[in-house]
Amino acid sequence: MSSWPAEPKYISHSTARVDAPAKLTGSARYSSDIQEKGWLYGMILRSKWPSAKVTAVNLDKARAIPGIKAVVVAREAEFNVRYYGEEIAAVAGTSKQACLDALRAIEVKAEVRHEFVVNETEALKADSPRVWDNAPNAPTPHVHENGNVDTAFPGCAAVIEGFYTTAVQVHNPMETHGNTVSWTDEGVTAWASTQGITSVRDGLAGALQLDHSKVRVITDFMGGGFGAKFGPGVEGVLAAKLSKAAGAPVRLMLTRFDEALAVGNRPSSFQKIKIGASADGLLQAFDAENYGTAGIGGGADAGGGGGGADIPMPYIYKVPNTRVKQSAVAINAGSARAFRAPGHPPASYGMESAMDDLAAKLAMDPLELRLKNDPSEIRQREYKLGAEKFGWKQKYQKPGSSPGVVKTGIGCAGAAWGGSRGDRNTQGDATINPDGSIEFRLGVQDLGTGTKTVIAVVAAEMLGLKPEQITVRVGDTNFPYGPGSGGSTTCPSVSPTVFDICTKALEQLQTQSGMADVRGENWFAACKKLGVSPLVVHGKWQPGLSTDHACGVQFAEVEVDTETGLVTVKKILGVHDCGLIINQITLESQINGGIISGMGYALYEERVMDDLSGVVLNPNFETYKLPGIADVPDIEIVLINMPERGVIGIGEPATVATAGAIANAVFNAIGVRVSSLPITPAKILAALGKVPPPVHA
């Protein structure tokens, strides 16, 4: 069986991103930078009603606007809109102003339904307006049982009941959703902001009724996805139709307002948890009910799942008697889509909060409670290592015992992610030229995580070259098939594939050159023997070089100002197992990003809906709060390199435990549980009895 090098020179070390110069100099071209000859602006007309039946759409006046080259409807005949922002029509023109004028000129006739619901709790009521005509807003809950919960609880020495809630979280990547699309007689080319060039190609081909061979998707660079950018979306299909109608390329990039309305989110959760343990702290029973909203549903572009409201319960801990009821609540809002570790951050937050509440009732150190009940040997190791580096024994204090106005507290939480050993269909090829230059081509995309660098590092290691001597091309469906970038599967997919390409390249180059060793210093001499014809080598994913299931634990230290309610995160320590580390610096960057994202979930992020209009009230970076550079704490990362396990993705587990650790640190500081994310100053002051609870708490 194949195996990774035992004493690597580049793997498990740090190599600067190979695409850093292009990004730093501004030469990197994103979807919104594409300016094909004669290109047009595209814009979408969206519903201003959260619920209505559209009976007619008249485009005549819009077509007459100077500069407008194409106008199309989103759907033919009569149709229903079920949330504010749903697509009705789209225009393409020579200027933004022409498009704005055309949008205003479109005449829409609709039977407006004045009854709608955008609040999950209200949607559960029997007399609530129905989102879907022939279905309840909340179907019968899914129920999973193990053991006998009802007989287990009476025998518990300590039982707590809590109600833990999390808000809808909006993806908000730096680059919005969008495409530049050119439809010609030869077919469709889409420069897409996507984390799945193949799924965008397949989605466009299906929607446009074209052969796959007639659709090409290119993603040279893209500015973040987090799970919401797998399919072409309605916006991609509309851009293609506009391009065909106009006979010109169309660039249709969504606005920040569009992002908040229509392209996905992380569902909310309302978790009622009852958990009990014996006197020694061993968990005995777990009973939970959870509901949340995925808007009108999981979304057609949810990337193969992850858009629902169910979460994994009980999270990570071993409990012999469990009962879990879960349901998704429909409201008049945009669909959910997969969002970095779908379901895990809210599950971790709810479970870890309950664990600390139980530890307080048992008068037990919460870290000790975790060590007694966590079945993962790897997390056990991570907790012990992290506790020593964090100074847990020295810093831990009874909840609420911190003196002074500004109180300090610490907390911890664990994470798990199943992930994947990689997409077994992943392929790639390399062209080796007589001058020794080599170019790798894989139909995968780099959504900013460093995939190009991973390819260069693995190739350099295998061939005895330097990473800067490797040319990497990705992001084109004309290249051999590559996986979507989701589920922490990209690195475990491409690394074994590049390994295979390099292994075959060395074998074939040895044969053609007649040299016994063609690596390193001998590489260029061997390549000269190719004559004038380059050597093209094809490879595919190989088993035994990657694996799945990653764990992680995080420790948080906070300060809470009890007069203002302000929470300041002072330090986060993350301990994560990574299998074989390919490139340490980009791996650390992934964990840093995951921690900062988790901070946003814990303290700042919440989609706010208007009950009267159904519109999102905070659709921008001014009113939808995200962590800024001044909010980022001291982050310490401890990586457990386990090369014997092969390559494991880290994108998801890096973010999961952050919110739970911060919430528990706040509880430790003030001695009162704030059981609703985000933990805002108003909620802190309400928990301390200084102000009434916030309306949206």
Q: What does pTM read for this prediction?
A: 0.97
pLDDT digits (tens, 9 = 90+) for 164-209: 999 999 999 999 999 999 999 999 999 999 999 999 999 999 999 9
CATH superfamily of 34-114+177-253: Aldehyde oxidase/xanthine dehydrogenase, a/b hammerhead (3.90.1170.50)
Quote the tokens at residue 280: 């020694």
Alpha-carbon dihedral sign for residues 234, 236, 241, 242: positive
The DSSP-derived string for 303-341 is SSS--SS---SS-SS--SEEEEEEEEE--SSPPP---SS
Domain-wise residue ranges, the chain: 20-30+421-540, 34-114+177-253, 265-419+548-687
Task: Check residue 303 and give its pLDDT.
Answer: 38
Q: What is the pLDDT of residue 308?
A: 79
Query: Which two structure tokens, joined as six digits, stand for 279?
Result: 């006197």
Question: Which has the closest alpha carbon to 568: 389, 697, 406?
Answer: 406
**pLDDT of 493:** 98
Give the CATH fold of the 20-30+421-540 domain.
Aldehyde Oxidoreductase; domain 4 (3.30.365)
pLDDT value at position 298? 61
| Angle in degrees, CA 39, 41, 42, rounded to 5 | 120
pLDDT at 305: 43
- Residue 580 and residue 491: Cα distance in Å, rounded? 11
Tokens, residue 191: 């420069």
Q: Which residues of the chain have pLDDT under 50?
A: 299-305, 697
Nearest C-alpha neighbor of 490 from the set 509, 474, 502: 474
Three-state DSSP class for residue 573? strand
Q: Which residues pair with 191 in a beta bridge?
A: 180, 218
Q: Same CATH topology for 20-30+421-540 and 34-114+177-253?
A: no
Euclidean distance between the first and the last CA atom of the chain, given in angstroms as a whole number: 55
Contact 247, 337 (CB under 8 A): no
Token couple for 307? 């858009």
Percent with pLDDT over 90 in the chain:
96
Asked whether the beta carbons of 327 and 313 are under 8 A apart, the reply is no
How is residue 354 written in tokens?
A: 């309950």
Q: Assess contact for 432 and 446: CB atoms under 8 A.
A: no
The CATH number of 265-419+548-687 is which of 3.30.365.10, 3.30.70.890, 3.60.150.10, 3.30.460.10? Answer: 3.30.365.10
Q: What is the pLDDT of residue 300?
A: 41
pLDDT tens sequence across 324-380: 999 999 999 999 999 999 999 999 999 999 999 999 999 999 999 999 999 999 999
pLDDT attached to residue 1:
61
